[in-house]
């Protein structure tokens, strides 16, 4: 600790350079933390309550549909306790702007709550939703976001489907406290009828009697329709969510590559700054060594200085990522599967660790060179 | 002469520049007594700074033996000699070589960071050293806020704060005006007389050398000694 003042004062010696180095490191760490948070959000997108008891049946391509007749056959498979057809609507609410994007599904209102048993809704609202063909329910956070009240009419404009549903909000549901804002659910009969093609199902949501039944049910369902015109792909809800992410391409690989390239580049910039700092102090290092500072101590002091600067950048970058993650508009989160986007303690630890690593790497060679300075050479530079 | 503190025996030093061998010191023998104030003089390139560096333990001879207070410092490794320097040698440089981001207090405290002294003890030592050089009221000043003479006095305080046996000064007045130079020389003399510090000072300036007990002339790697108080040549007076 007695060297702390020396380290801090030396770190602030060339303020402009230190500030620029800190800013460049903070930018790299911001990117690293934010990207890591995005990847974590992708991974945890399907960690919803009850997900272990749910399977999703779909076609290989998410754009293709299955016949309604599959429903009864799937319901007969041992282990299946409930099944709910659900289609993604993807319409526009008010304007085609990110702040108005949210998840919209037309579903079988009677069986929705059997499958999504974690949805908490009052019996009266549930009944009102199930009884009225144009009724809809929304996640409570979603309703609050748009100021929807029970009885409000919500107009959607079809983009993938040529139909503009006019829905009446009859209830709101909640899930876990930290769950995303939820979506808007309405009757599939209403949309199917308007489309004039009843009987096409995008996905079947299945509830199992136990998580152990999942492998057997998946095999049985897919085997059942293997030779049909519409073979199925049955998967866990987690896997289904992941398939959406995979639609974005190798996002994780891209994020990791970009992150590493940025961190490497910033390390070089920081190393250059540290090398300049060390070079300028050639004589000072020689004086300190003449006074009795051993090479190992000189190395430690310059490395500590480099780590100190990098750590300030790391803290700023991590704070920035944390603020950025919390400030991201919720509509954007839903659109790109970032419902759970947050800079977790693990990401914070990782980011600070990365900044320490940047400090060690960038300060390593300058510190090593300084430690090896011959006193007479350093003193001669002045004389 | 007083008890011998520094003893050089057949010390040779040469440098290699590219493939060329440049002799600097050739079989030097020298004894310096405890409490002596010795000036090293000679033309540029005569080897006086090299000799000072060898005595201070910041350079090693190619051959020969250097004993300080009975200890053969030529046999010490880098770690040992660093420890020895911290304990026994105080350095005074021509350009002061203070750390610009540290205050006078912090600069003087620097060598004490290598000791196990408590913060309070370090403070006491630093304030004592600063008061010896007459700068106890400038402890919070940065080098840029001090005059050249004051900077050199801070450097002297840094040199004496560990109470070393030996002070080595390389052109300590070379960058100062005449008045400041005289003050620094008086201070060195005081350290020598009052505090019994053995001082070896490299200088080009005969007036500065005049403050020493004896003067050693180095020329072409060879040494000659003038005993007693150095007399300023008529041309300089």
Cβ contacts of B119 on chain A, cutoff 8 Å:
2
How far is it, in rounded angstroms, from Cα B185 to Cα B128? 20
- B99: helix, coil or strand? coil
Residues from chain A contacting residue B58 (CB–CB below 8 Å): 289-290, 375-376, 379
Q: What is the pLDDT of residues A163-194, one digit of tens each?
A: 899 999 999 998 865 566 678 999 998 988 88
Bridge partner residues of B20 (DSSP): B17
DSSP B202: E
Q: Which long-range contacts (CB under 8 A, 24 or more apart) does B7-10 make?
A: B7/B31, B7/B32, B7/B65, B7/B66, B7/B67, B7/B68, B8/B54, B8/B55, B8/B64, B8/B65, B8/B66, B9/B64, B9/B65, B9/B66, B9/B67, B10/B63, B10/B64, B10/B65
Which residues on B lie below 8 Å from A5 (Cβ)? 106
Q: ipTM for the complex?
A: 0.89
What gap in Å lies between CA A75 and CA A215, rounded to an integer? 16
User: CA A138, CA A121: separation in Å to the nearest integer?
Assistant: 10
Q: Which of A21, A2, A5, A58 has the alpha carbon at shortest distance from A317?
A: A21
Residue B107 CB contacts under 8 Å (≥ 6 apart), including other chains: B98, B99, B143, B154, B155, B158
Element (H, E) at A38: helix A15-44
Contacts of B91 in chain A (CB under 8 A): 287, 290-291
The answer to whether A9 contacts B101, with C-beta atoms less than 8 Å apart, is: yes
The rounded radius of gyration (Å) of the Cα atoms in chain B is: 18
Selected for mutation to probe chain B from A13, A290, A295, A308 (highest B CB count within 10 Å) is A290
Question: What pLDDT score was predicted for residue B234?
Answer: 38
Q: Do A295 and B78 touch (CB under 8 A)?
A: yes
The pLDDT of residue B124 is 96
pLDDT at A283 exceeding the cut of 60: yes
3-class secondary structure, A324: helix
DSSP state of A74: H
Task: Indicate yes or no: CB of A294 within 8 angstroms of CB of B82.
Answer: yes
Q: Region A370-375: what's the mean pLDDT?
A: 88
d(CA A309, CA A25): 9
In the prediction, which pLDDT does A51 show?
65
Cβ–Cβ below 8 Å for B86 and A379: no
Residues in A closer than 8 angstroms to B114, CB to CB, are 291-293, 297
Q: A288 in contact with B at a CB cutoff of 8 Å? A: yes
Whether the predicted pLDDT of A277 surpasses 70 = yes
Q: Using CA atoms in the order B82, B86, B87, B92, what is the torsion angle rounded to 10 degrees?
A: 130
Reported residue count of chain A is 383
CA distance A282 to chain B (A): 11
> Within its chain, how far is the Cα of A137 from the centroid?
26
pLDDT band at residue A353, thresholds of 50, 70 and 90? very high
For residue range B51-83, list pLDDT tens digits in order.
999 999 999 999 999 999 999 999 899 899 999
Mean pLDDT to the nearest integer, A290-316: 93
B49·A2 Cβ contact <8 A? no
- Rounded to two decimals, the pTM is 0.69
Please name the residue of chain A whose CA is at the shortest distance from the CA of residue B99: A284
List A residues 338-377 in contact with B (Cβ-Cβ < 8 A): 375-376
Phi, psi torsion values for A370, nearest 5 degrees: -65, -40
DSSP, residue by residue, B117-136: --HHHHHHHHHHHHHHTT-G
What is the end-to-end Cα distance of chain A in Å, rounded? 34
C-alpha span between B51 and B37 (Å, rounded)? 15
Close Cβ partners of A9 (under 8 Å, ≥ 6 residues apart): B101, B102, B106
Name every chain B residue with its beta carbon within 8 A of the beta carbon of A291.
85-86, 91, 110-111, 114, 158
A301 band by pLDDT with thresholds 50, 70 and 90: very high
Say what the alpha-carbon torsion angle A44, A46, A47, A49 is, to the nearest 10 degrees.
160
For chain B, the residues whose C-beta falls within 8 A of a C-beta of chain A are 49, 53, 56, 58-59, 78-79, 82-83, 85-87, 91, 93-95, 97, 99-102, 106, 110-111, 113-114, 119, 158, 170-171
Q: Percentage of residues in chain B with pLDDT exceeding 70?
A: 94
Residue of B nearest to A290 (CA): B58
**pLDDT averaged over every residue in chain B:** 89
DSSP A187-239: EHHHHHHHHT-TTEESEEEEEES-GGGHHHHHHHHHHHTTTSSS--EEEEHHH
Residues B82, A5: C-beta atoms closer than 8 Å: no
Predicted confidence band of residue A235 (pLDDT cuts 50, 70, 90): confident
A334 phi, psi to nearest 5 deg: -65, -40
| Pair B65, B9: CB distance under 8 Å | yes
* A289: closest chain B residue by CA: B82
- Subunit contact A12:B101, Cβ cutoff 8 A: yes
pLDDT tens digits, one per residue of A304-350: 999 999 999 999 999 999 998 888 766 566 555 666 778 889 999 99
Conformation bin of residue A147: beta by default, left when phi > 0, alpha when psi is -120 to 50: left
Residue of A nearest to B102 (CA): A9
Residue A229 has pLDDT above 50, yes or no: yes
Q: Provide the shortest C-alpha distance from residue A27 to chain B (in Å).
A: 28
Question: Mind telling me how many Å the CA of B177 is from chain A's nearest CA?
Answer: 18
Q: For the residues A219-245, what does the mean pLDDT come to?
A: 81
Share of chain A above pLDDT 70, in %: 88
Tens digit of each residue's pLDDT (9 = 90 or more) over B165-204: 999 999 999 888 989 999 999 999 999 999 999 999 999 8
CB atoms within 10 A of CB A343: 24
Q: Closest by alpha carbon to A312, among A4, A9, A11, A3?
A: A11
Rg (CA), chain A: 29
Angle (CA) A321 A326 A331, round 5° = 120
Q: Write the pLDDT tens digit of every residue in A71-127.
A: 999 999 999 999 999 988 888 898 887 778 888 899 999 999 998 888 889 999 999
| pLDDT at residue A333 in the model | 63
Contact B225, B48 (CB under 8 A): no
Residue pair B56/B168 in contact by the 8 Å Cβ criterion: yes
Using the predicted structure, report yes or no on whether residue B237 has a pLDDT greater than 50: no
**Residues 6+ away with beta carbon under 8 Å from A117:** A50, A207
Mean pLDDT, residues B107-135? 95
- pLDDT beyond 50 at A130: yes
More confident residue, A98 or B139: B139
Confidence of residue A298 (pLDDT cuts 50, 70, 90): very high
Q: At what angle do helices B148-160 and B178-194 cross, to 10 degrees?
A: 20
CB pairs under 8 A between A and B: 72
Q: What pLDDT score was predicted for residue B117?
A: 94
Distance, in Å, from the CA atom of A184 to the CA atom of A145, rounded to the nearest integer, reads 13
Per CB-CB distance under 8 Å, the chain B contacts of A3 are 113
- DSSP letter (8 states) at residue A120: B
What is the pLDDT at residue A257?
A: 82
Q: Where are the alpha helices (DSSP H) in chain B?
A: 48-56, 78-88, 104-109, 119-132, 148-160, 178-194, 206-209
Predicted confidence band at A294 (pLDDT cuts at 50, 70, 90)? Answer: very high
Largest CA distance in chain B: 53
Beta strands in A231-375 (DSSP E): 233-236
Q: Which of A225-239, A342-356, B100-114 has the highest mean pLDDT?
A: B100-114
Report chain B residues whose CB lies below 8 A from the CB of A376. 53, 58-59
Burial class (CB in 10 A: 0-12, 13-18, 19+), B33: middle
CA dist., res. A67 & res. A45, Å (int): 28
pLDDT tens for residues B142-151? 999 999 999 9
């Amino acid at each position: 600790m007695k060297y702390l003042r020396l380290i801090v004062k030396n770190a602030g010696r060339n303020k402009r350079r230190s500030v620029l180095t800190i800013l460049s490191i903070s930018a790299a760490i911001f990117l690293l933390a934010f990207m890591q948070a995005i990847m974590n959000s992708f991974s945890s997108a399907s960690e919803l309550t009850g997900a272990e008891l749910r399977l999703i049946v779909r076609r290989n391509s998410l754009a293709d549909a299955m016949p309604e007749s599959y429903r009864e056959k799937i319901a007969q498979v041992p282990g299946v306790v409930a099944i709910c057809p659900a289609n993604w609507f993807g319409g526009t609410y008010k304007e085609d702007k990110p702040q108005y994007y949210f998840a919209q599904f037309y579903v079988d209102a009677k069986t929705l709550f059997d499958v999504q048993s974690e949805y908490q809704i009052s019996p009266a609202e549930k009944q009102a939703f199930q009884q009225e063909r144009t009724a809809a329910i929304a996640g409570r956070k979603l309703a609050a976001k748009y100021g929807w009240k029970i009885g409000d009419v919500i107009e959607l404009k079809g983009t993938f489907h040529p139909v503009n549903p006019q829905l009446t909000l009859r209830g709101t549901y909640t899930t876990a406290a930290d769950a995303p804002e939820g979506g808007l659910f309405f009757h599939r009969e209403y949309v199917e009828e308007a489309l004039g093609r009843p009987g096409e199902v995008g996905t079947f949501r299945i509830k199992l009697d136990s998580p152990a039944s999942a492998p057997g049910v998946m095999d049985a369902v897919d085997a059942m329709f293997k030779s049909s015109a519409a073979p199925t792909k049955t998967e866990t809800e987690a896997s289904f969510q992941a398939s959406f992410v995979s639609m974005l391409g190798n996002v994780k690989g891209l994020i990791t590559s970009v992150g590493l390239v940025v961190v490497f580049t910033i390390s070089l910039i920081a190393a250059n700054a540290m090398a300049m700092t060390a070079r300028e102090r050639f004589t000072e290092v020689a004086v300190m060594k003449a006074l009795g500072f051993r090479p190992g101590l000189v190395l430690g002091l310059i490395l500590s200085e480099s780590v100190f600067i990098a750590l300030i950048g790391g803290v700023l970058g991590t704070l920035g990522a944390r603020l950025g993650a919390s400030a991201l508009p919720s509509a954007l989160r839903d659109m790109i599967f970032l419902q759970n986007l947050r800079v977790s303690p693990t990401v914070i630890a990782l980011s600070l660790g990365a900044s320490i690593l940047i400090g060690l790497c960038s300060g390593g060679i300058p510190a090593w060179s300084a430690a090896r300075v011959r006193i007479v050479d350093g003193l001669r530079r002045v004389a | 002469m007083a008890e011998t503190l520094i003893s050089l025996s057949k010390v040779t030093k040469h440098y290699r520049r590219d493939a060329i061998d440049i002799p600097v010191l050739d079989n030097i023998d020298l004894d310096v007594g405890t409490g002596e104030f010795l000036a090293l003089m000679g033309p540029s390139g005569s080897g006086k700074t090299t000799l000072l560096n060898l005595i201070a333990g910041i350079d090693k001879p190619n051959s020969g033996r250097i004993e300080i207070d009975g200890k053969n410092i030529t046999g010490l490794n880098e770690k040992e000699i660093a420890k020895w320097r911290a304990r026994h040698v105080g350095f005074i440089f021509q350009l002061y070589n203070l750390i610009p981001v540290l205050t006078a207090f912090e600069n003087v405290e620097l060598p004490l960071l290598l000791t196990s002294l408590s913060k309070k003890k370090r403070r006491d030592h630093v304030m004592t050293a600063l008061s010896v050089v007459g700068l106890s009221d400038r402890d919070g000043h940065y080098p840029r806020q001090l005059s050249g003479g004051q900077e050199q006095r801070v450097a002297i305080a840094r040199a004496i704060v560990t109470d070393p046996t030996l002070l080595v000064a390389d052109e300590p007045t070379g960058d100062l005006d005449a008045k400041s130079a005289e003050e620094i020389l008086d201070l060195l003399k005081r350290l020598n007389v009052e505090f019994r510090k053995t001082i070896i000072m490299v200088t080009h300036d005969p007036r500065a050398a005049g403050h020493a007990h004896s003067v050693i002339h180095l020329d072409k790697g060879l040494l000659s000694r003038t005993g007693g108080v150095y007399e300023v040549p008529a041309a300089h007076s």
